[in-house]
Structures are given as C-alpha cells and as structure tokens.
Structure 1
C-alpha cells in the first residue's frame, strides 16, 4: 500500500521535481525585490500554480478514461460504472475551476486558493491511490511534491508582499 520514492518511475520523479522549481524561482526572489516586482512574482506564482492545479485534475481525467476501458473489458455493472465515471470525470475538472478563480482574485486570496486547491487535490489523490485508481507510487510522489510546493507558497506569503488583501 505504501511505496517510497524509489518506486516512482524515474521520468515521473525527475519531471515532477522539475515542476517544483518554478515555485522556488518565483518565491525566493520576493525577499530581495521591490514590492512592486514582488507582486509580479506573486502573480506569476499564482498563474503557474493554476497550471499545475489544472494538471492535477487532468491526471484524474486520463485515469478515468483508462479505468473506463478496463471496466468495459471486465463487463462490470453498467450503472455502477456510470456513477463512478461521473465522480471521476467530475472531480477532474474541479481543480481547473479552482485554479481559474484563483487567477481572478487579489494576490493573497488567489495564492491561498491555489494552496487550498493543491492541498485538496493531494487528499483526493491519496484516496484514489488507496482505492487502486492511481498507481501506489503516485502517493509518495504527490506527498513530496505537495510539501515542496506548499513550502514555496508559504515563503511567498511570509514575505508580506501578498498583503492581507
């Protein structure tokens, strides 16, 4: 049930960790720049976070397509398959909607919504992994990546550039 990062396919691990780099490239300089430039960095961070959050939903869309094919081959109960498909596809679009709203808000609220969305996606991913909907190794990868992303976002908030509004 529980795997380690050693179980993560090398391309997924390297590309996943690479996907965290922009969060740090945007959050670390905030402490060194004029607040005006800090807002540009925060806005860029929100936008990049929105892209990543949309990607996390797309993982579920892809898994739902593959799972649907497997269920059809196994000739499972059609009503149950339909209900599960609605849940899987339905969730897969929620992160993109959260992300879109995050890009429309003021910096602090936008970044907080992205953080909440990434956290929510993590917990949904945990449930999907434990239900066998996603590979076991994905849980380990998501845990590390989520922690790293949340630390970068926390750094941006701690800089004070986002302000309370």
Structure 2
C-alpha cells in the first residue's frame, strides 16, 4: 500500500514539473500575467491525473490480497474431558493396552488355566487343585471389587464415593467369601462365576469413564476366568465318574 502511494505522489510531482504553468509559478516570473493561464493548464492536466491516480486500484489490490490473509492456528491443549471422550470413541483392543497392565493381567490368568489343563493332562481329578483355583478366584473377585473403591475415592474422579459405588465394590468380596464356605467345589465355582460377572457388569456399564482398552481387557480376562472355572467343574464330574467306574471294576475283579 505504501509503495503504491509513494509512486503516485512521485508521478504527480514529475508531471507538475513538466507543465509550463507550474514552471512559471515555481520561478516566480510574470506571476500576475500568467497566473490565470497556469491555473487553467494545471486544472486541465490535473483532472485526468487525479482520476487516474485515485485510490481505486489500491482497493482492488486489497480486495485481491484479502483472500490470501490467513491467521495463524492457535494451538490448544486438549482437556481431560476431550481425551477421555476420544479414548471412549476410539476402537479399543489388546494392542492398545499398556504393557505392564497387559502382561500382569495375562500372568494373573495362568493359575486359572493351569488347573484344568493339569487335570486334563493327568486324567485325574485333584480336589486340592480345584480348591486352590476357587480360592484364587475369590481373591481375584475381591480385588476387582476393591478396585472400584480405588476409582471412586480420589477427589477428581468422575465416580462419587456414594453408597451405590462403594456398596457395589463390596458385593464381589461378599460373594467370594460365600463361595469359600461351600464344601462342594462346584457350588463355589458357580458362585464365583456370578461374582465375576457382576464385577464385569459394574466396570463396563456403570463406569463408562474407564478406557476402552481396559474394558476389552476386563472382558477377555473374565471370559478366561469363567471358562476355567466351568472347565474345572466339567472335569470334576467327568473324571470323578471315570474314577468311580474304575473302582467298581477293581472291586468286581477282587
């Protein structure tokens, strides 16, 4: 804009200096005689000059340059609510889990899978191993219920430490204690299946602010634990039946 105005002023002065009337005025010769003639010539030459040197081209230049004006993008930090919303909307899988959480969770599933696998490999039912699996499942259900307390107690937590959240955290522990009181392993395993299912329902439905990868991990872990308990119950009924038949055969032989 400034170079355009400077060029226009320079052209105007240059043309005024070339005019004969302007030269007469500048030199100061015959001012009275040539004043009217100089004014007429100035008006004659200044009119087209003023029209040609109007500010219209400047407005055109600004109109052409206006679309190219862009403001710098302002970088804004993502709030915790936006990050939580994106974590919930994004697809979750076991690949998105942090390595410590993934490896520790998979390591915690080893005792569940090892008990029915060992009994199926040996072909005999071992009540000690079955009870150890039930006791470990009771401890796991109690841990999952206590995790709800740890989520609700912090001040900045979206879950309030009210009666509902804290009471739901104690339900899996109470069911686990009841499962240990049963003398039959089958009844205890079924009770623990209910406790693990309730804990999963709490973590997925009642606490939607958990990350998506954690919900996927909870579903996979619960499926493995319940399947292992039901596999132990099935092996108990099947292997105990075979052992009874073997005993009957041995008694008949003797």
TM, length-normalised to structure 2: 0.54
Are residue 24 (structure 1) and residue 113 (structure 2) matched? yes
Helix, strand or coil at the partner of 1:157: helix
RMSD of equivalent CA atoms: 2.2
Are residue 104 (structure 1) and residue 178 (structure 2) matched? no
Alpha-carbon shift at residue 136 of structure 1 (Å): 2.7
Conserved 8 A contact 1:39-1:161: no
Conserved 8 A contact 1:129-1:136: no
Q: Which residue of 2 aligns with 1:137?
A: 213
Q: Which residue of 2 aligns with 1:6?
A: 95
Larger Rg: 2
TM, length-normalised to structure 1: 0.81
Q: Which residue of 1 aligns with 2:153?
A: 65
Q: Which residue of 1 aligns with 2:162?
A: 85
Q: Measure, in 1, the Cα distance between the counterparts of 2:124 and 2:102.
A: 35
Q: Measure, in 2, the Cα distance between the counterparts of 1:136 and 1:148.
A: 19
Q: 1:123 aligns with which of 201, 205, 209?
A: 201
Alignment length (residue pairs)? 148
Q: Measure, in 2, the Cα distance between the counterparts of 1:121 and 1:33.
A: 33
Q: 1:43 aligns with which of 120, 127, 131?
A: 131
Conserved 8 A contact 1:129-1:139: no
- Unaligned runs of 5+ residues in structure 1 are 75-79
- Unaligned runs of 5+ residues in structure 2 are 1-87, 241-254
Conserved 8 A contact 1:102-1:110: yes
Alpha-carbon shift at residue 49 of structure 1 (Å): 0.2
Q: Measure, in 1, the Cα distance between the counterparts of 2:223 and 2:134.
A: 17
Alpha-carbon shift at residue 129 of structure 1 (Å): 4.0
Conserved 8 A contact 2:189-2:230: no
Q: Measure, in 2, the Cα distance between the counterparts of 1:160 and 1:50.
A: 19
Higher relative contact order (CA 8 A, sep 6+): 1
